[in-house]
Amino acid sequence: MSNNLNSAPTFRQGGGMRKFGTGEKAKPASIYSMFIRIYKHAQTQLPLLIAAIACVIAISLLEFIVPQLTRYTIDHIIPNQLFSKLILIGGGVLGSAVALGALRYISTSLMASVGQKVLYNLRNELYRHMQSLDVSFFDRNRTGDLMSRVTNDVSILQQMISSSMMQLFTDFFTFTAIAIYMLWIDWKLTLLLLATFPFMILTTKVFGKRMRSSFRTVQESVADVSDHLQNTLTGIRLIKAFTAEEYESERFSERTQRNMDANIQVTRLRAAYEPIIDFLNFLGLAIVLVFGAWLAMKDQMTVGTIVAFIAYLRLLQNPVRHFSRIMNTIQQSAAAYERIMEVMNTKAEIVERENASSLPVVSGHIVFNHIDFAYSSDSTVLKDFQLELEAGKVTALVGSSGSGKTTIAHLIARFYDPQSGEITIDGYSLKDVTIASLREQIGIVSQDIVLFNGSIAENIRYGNHHSTDAEVIAAAEAANAAGFIDSFPQGYETQIGERGVKLSGGQKQRLSIARAILKNPRIIILDEATASLDTESEQHIQDALAQLLQGRTCLVIAHRLSTIQKANRIYVLEQGQIVEHGTHDELLNLQGRYSQLYELQFPQTDEA
């Protein structure tokens, strides 16, 4: 396995479950745990939540009024011809409808507000947790899949929190209140009716489990589509250069096909589930009609009571109908919650000790002491490795690809931890100091330049968010970048496009150097900083680097040996071991591996 993080292919195949932790796969999160976590977030909005629940209780109580008005009309007003009370009955029905509408509007608005704030907190919590995870986590997982979890999966919870949870609260209170009242009216008939509910619960449990699994597949397929889209859009120039549009379209079609099939499976499950629930509801209605009519014919129940009982039956069955509809939302949310919790339950491998201290300003004396490191159990990169970087000096690493050069840089920045051995800076073990205080003193300029879609000033200021405009300009001048920046009509406010697409390679590199200068680090790591530049651009970069390296410890990783001839010490690596070291002239005189590499790059020396 290559030691360079950027050596991974742009396009990655595959879908389905991703490996998030380094241990065993976590058990699926339960719906109960999902509601508990949502409630914990909702507690921050307790006044709004209490007001919404009060509305729910009021709605449940108002649900009783219309059936009672119906019963009173049939049993008293019609037989006694109480014409004067008809207006009151009509007014009561309309008043109840208006009150129910107002309460539902208020409760829905309140729950929508609570739901949005819960999602706001949950999405930010998820993002902050992802930011706290180490580089190896992002090595293992696809960018598009992680994006889908932060955006799509969290958004899926929105519908459940904003509307479905409100419906669940309302239905719970309505069902409980009406069931108690119906038991009081006729407990025998009510128990017969309630006997159908265990079958509904069993049906819901069976179908719910299958729906959840299908929704999991749906969301994983959405992540696959998102990942493919992200890869192809960022690599569109490569696709067009290789005329691979049709190939990528077919691959995209395969992923959308999986998404379509999974959605069809969910629809079929729902189409089978809802008729079964409806049948059980009609069974309850048949029980009420048959036994209610029998009791009425024996003068043990009035016709008005039967009509009211049927109305209450419909109210009692409404929560079941609602639940059958929103179960698909709940199961989809549960699948989304599982995917979110896979990330939230992932622990960072690079962690600070409890008593870690802040690293003071260092001179930059770095020592690798008997380091063993591997990216995986079958890929040893460094074995009993030892290296010393003198403070304030330029140390260069050269060697074949995969020899461990970039790994050394990543270990200094503590992107990874070695399996054994110790790395120290000025005598401080990297594991004894806080990660932030370590990285604050390290500046990295690499061949793979990362620039954000924004202005030139914003990208330079990333090195120090609190810097002034004058400091940004000074950093640009020191990096030999002020000339081309001033040539743009908008100067430092010029928008550079995604990944700096509107700039040349040399211009992007000078911005990354300006960013490093603005950070003012004590230790500089140059990872193939000039490898892909033309001669003129390289000269500009070398001049900028001369400004950057003054008085700092510098580690240079290079394939182009012309860039390191003035280094104070050069180490030649092969297969994770130092095979030679010395100055440029000393290594040439050894006629060893360095000399071979030099002759390959400068064959004209053979004729001298």
Contact yes or no for 256/225 (Cβ under 8 A)? yes
- Please report the pLDDT score of residue 422 as a whole number: 92
CA 542 to chain centre: 39
DSSP 432: G
Beta bridge partners of 382: 373
- State both tokens at 245: 């549009």
Burial class (CB in 10 A: 0-12, 13-18, 19+), 473: buried
C-alpha closest to that of 250 among 222, 228, 230: 228
Distances (CA, A) of 297 to 173, 272, 374: 33, 38, 85
Phi, psi of 530 (to 5 degrees): -125, 15
Category of 480 on φ-ψ map: left (φ > 0), alpha (ψ -120 to 50) or beta: left
C-alpha closest to that of 39 among 26, 27, 22, 52: 52
CB atoms within 10 A of CB 169: 20
- State both tokens at 363: 């001179």
Contact yes or no for 16/219 (Cβ under 8 A)? no
- Please report the pLDDT score of residue 366 as a whole number: 92
- Please report the pLDDT score of residue 172 as a whole number: 76
Question: Which residue in this structure is represented by tokens 């995604």?
Answer: 498
In the chain, which residues have pLDDT < 70?
1-30, 162-166, 234, 237, 320-325, 529-548, 562, 603-608
Distances (CA, A) of 553 to 22, 357, 363, 548: 35, 22, 7, 10
What residue ranges define each of the domains in the chain, with the CATH number in brackets? 30-344 (1.20.1560.10)
CA 84 to chain centre: 65
Across 330-406, the runs of DSSP E, i.e. the strands, are 366-376, 379-389, 394-399
CA 64 to chain centre: 46
- Please report the pLDDT score of residue 367 as a whole number: 92
Question: Which residue in this structure is represented by tokens 């622990």?
Answer: 347
DSSP 349: S
CB atoms within 10 A of CB 236: 12
CB atoms within 10 A of CB 51: 16
> In 43-186, which residue ranges form alpha helices assigned H by DSSP?
46-62, 65-72, 78-80, 86-132, 135-140, 143-148, 154-159, 165-185
Amino acid at 236: I
Contact yes or no for 414/350 (Cβ under 8 A)? yes
Q: Which residues lie below 8 Å from residue 606, measured CB to CB, with a gap of 6+?
A: 599
Question: d(Cα 396, Cα 572) in Å, to the nearest integer?
Answer: 8
Contact yes or no for 445/485 (Cβ under 8 A)? no
The percent of the chain in helix, strand and coil, each rounded to the nearest 5, is 65, 10, 25
C-alpha closest to that of 488 among 471, 511, 518: 511
